[in-house]
Amino acid sequence: MSQPSQAPAPLLQVSDLKRYFDVKNSLLSGKSGHLRAVDGVTFNVTAGETLGLVGESGCGKSTLGRVVSRLLPATDGEILFEGRDIIDIDRKALLALRADIQSVFQDPSASLNPRMTAFNLIAEPLVIQKIGTRASRRDKVLDLLETVGLRREFADRYPHEFSGGQRQRIGIARALALDPKLLILDEPVSALDVSIQAQIINLLEDLQKRLDLTYLFISHDLSVVQHVADRVAVMYMGQIVELADNEAFYANPQHPYSIALLSALPLPDPTIARKRILLEGDLPDPANLPQGCRFQSRCAHVTDRCRVGPEPEMQEISPGHIARCHNLADIHAPIEQKQTA
């Protein structure tokens, strides 16, 4: 009798990851504290999938992407890439890691050196890694230009000679130069016009299928994430508050923050009404977080337990669907059960 096949090990495993920044509370007092930009984040990404990381500005999602790609050091925690710890690797090993993990950033105008041609921008990773000859690098660059939908003769143009969408295609080509396994896509379409966004998203989906890529797709746009992601992680004040398969998340969000975010998402059927949930209250200070739940100041379901603590832990709602909230059972109880209570 054959043994059941085991699920493949995750390409990326992040466990209890933290990234704190030192801040001064006051110029007069001189006292310092910690801004907890990423605070105990845990998730996995399987080879070939897209994990969508969503949340409003300032929640720590871009910082998380930079720590995972080792552009920023971690304060604590563990990052395993293909089973290997990459938190404390030396400079030589980090350089080799760059071939496997690459990033595409939000603003192509800011991420491309205006003094370099498209050819030099795309070839730069190959030069740094000392891969190939000048002739082979040129062939590689010209092939990459075609791969991302640009003409070969564009190789000698400078960034200002391209449109925003074309500059982002150059950024994607540069990220692909070393044949990476994981791409950290940090708001890759938010700086582009809506019509261009669709083109870049379609390009990324096509590249993923052709090149067997894995994506960590960071965005504040839930409609974009719904289109591209296999699973969705919602981040709030440095923590993941909900993680689920795409279909389960959009059909049945659990955390009050997720529910509020999705209430603003337009429905494809205009005849169906959706009640918009407006979050009231102030965001907590990330350098002086409140005791208990971090969402308490904006949550309509807050209780004394939420204010006093301890912080809520992740709870499993269904296989693969987890959320961080003390009151999930009450929030999602049937109406008749609530009335009886």
Q: What is the pLDDT of residue 288?
A: 87
Q: What is the pLDDT of residue 140?
A: 97
Q: Could you read off the pLDDT of 70-83 as tens digits, one per residue? A: 999 999 999 999 99
Q: What is the pLDDT of residue 260?
A: 93
12-100+180-340 CATH fold? Rossmann fold (3.40.50)
pTM: 0.91
What number is the average pLDDT over the span 27-37? 71
- Contact yes or no for 12/182 (Cβ under 8 A): yes
What number is the average pLDDT over the span 46-57? 96
* Separation between Cα atoms, residue 156 and residue 279, nearest integer Å: 49
Q: Could you read off the pLDDT of 273-331 as tens digits, one per residue? A: 567 787 888 888 888 889 999 999 999 999 999 998 799 999 999 999 999 999 998 88
Give residues with Cβ within 8 angstroms of 232, minimum separation 6: 51, 52, 54, 225, 226, 242, 243, 244, 245, 246, 249, 250
Q: What is the pLDDT of residue 313?
A: 94
94-119: string of b/e by CB count within 10 Å (b at 16+)? eeebbeebbbbbbbbeebbeeeebbb
* Separation between Cα atoms, residue 21 and residue 92, nearest integer Å: 26
What number is the average pLDDT over the span 152-167? 95
Q: What is the pLDDT of residue 339?
A: 40
Q: Where are the domains of the chain?
A: 12-100+180-340, 110-179
Q: Could you read off the pLDDT of 174-226 as tens digits, one per residue? A: 999 999 999 999 999 998 888 899 999 999 999 999 999 999 999 999 999 99
Long-range contacts of 197-203 (CB under 8 A, 24+ apart): 197/224, 199/149, 199/165, 200/165, 200/168, 200/169, 200/172, 201/227, 201/228, 203/148, 203/149, 203/169, 203/172
